Amino acid sequence: MMPISSPSADRESAFLAPYAMRSDLSAGRRYSEQTHPYRSAFQRDRDRITHCAAFRRLSHKTQVFTGDSGDYHRTRLTHTLEVASIARTMARALRLNEDLVESLALVHDIGHPPFGHAGEDVLNERLADCGGFNHNAQALRIVEQLEIRYPDFPGLNLSHEVLEGQRRRAKSLPPGTQGQPLLEVQVVDAADSIAYDAHDADDALELGLLTVGDLNQLALWREATDRVSERYGDLNGLPLRTAVIRQLIDTEVSCLIEVAESRLSEFAIQSVEDVRNSSALLTAPGELAAKKRELQAFLFAEVYRHPDVLKQRATSTAELGQLFDHYLRRPERLPDFYQQIGNEEGRARAAADFVASHTDRSAREAFAGL
> What is the average per-residue pLDDT within 58-62?
92
User: Whole-prediction pTM value?
Assistant: 0.94
Let me know if residue 98 belongs to a domain: yes
Q: Which residues is 344 bridged to in the sheet?
A: none
Write down the pLDDT at residue 173: 86
pLDDT above 80 for 69: no
As for how many domains the chain has, the answer is 1
Band of residue 229 on the pLDDT scale cut at 50, 70, 90: very high
Helix (H, G, I), strand (E, B) or coil at 167: helix
Cβ neighbours around 151 below 10 Å, total: 5
pLDDT above 70 for 219: yes
Give burial (CB, 10 Å; 0-12/13-18/19+) of 72: exposed
Separation between Cα atoms, residue 168 and residue 161, nearest integer Å: 11
Look up the domain containing 210 and give its range: 41-368
Closest C-alpha among 239, 237, 242, 231 to residue 202? 242
User: Taking the alpha carbons of 16, 21, 27, 30 in that order, is the dihedral positive or negative?
Assistant: negative
**CA of residue 230 relative to chain centroid, distance:** 34
Closest C-alpha among 124, 292, 306, 278 to residue 207? 306
Let me know if residue 351 belongs to a domain: yes
CATH number at residue 122: 1.10.3210.10
| Mean model confidence pLDDT for the chain | 93
Write down the pLDDT at residue 68: 60
Give the tens place of pLDDT for each residue, 286-342.
999 999 999 999 999 999 898 988 898 899 999 999 999 999 999 999 999 999 999
Let me know if residue 183 belongs to a domain: yes
Let me know if residue 15 belongs to a domain: no
Band of residue 3 on the pLDDT scale cut at 50, 70, 90: very low
Helix (H, G, I), strand (E, B) or coil at 14: helix
> What is the average per-residue pLDDT within 95-101?
98
Tell me, what DSSP letter sits at residue 58? G
Let me know if residue 279 belongs to a domain: yes
Separation between Cα atoms, residue 245 and residue 313, nearest integer Å: 26
> What is the average per-residue pLDDT within 107-135?
95
Let me know if residue 266 belongs to a domain: yes
pLDDT above 90 for 180: yes
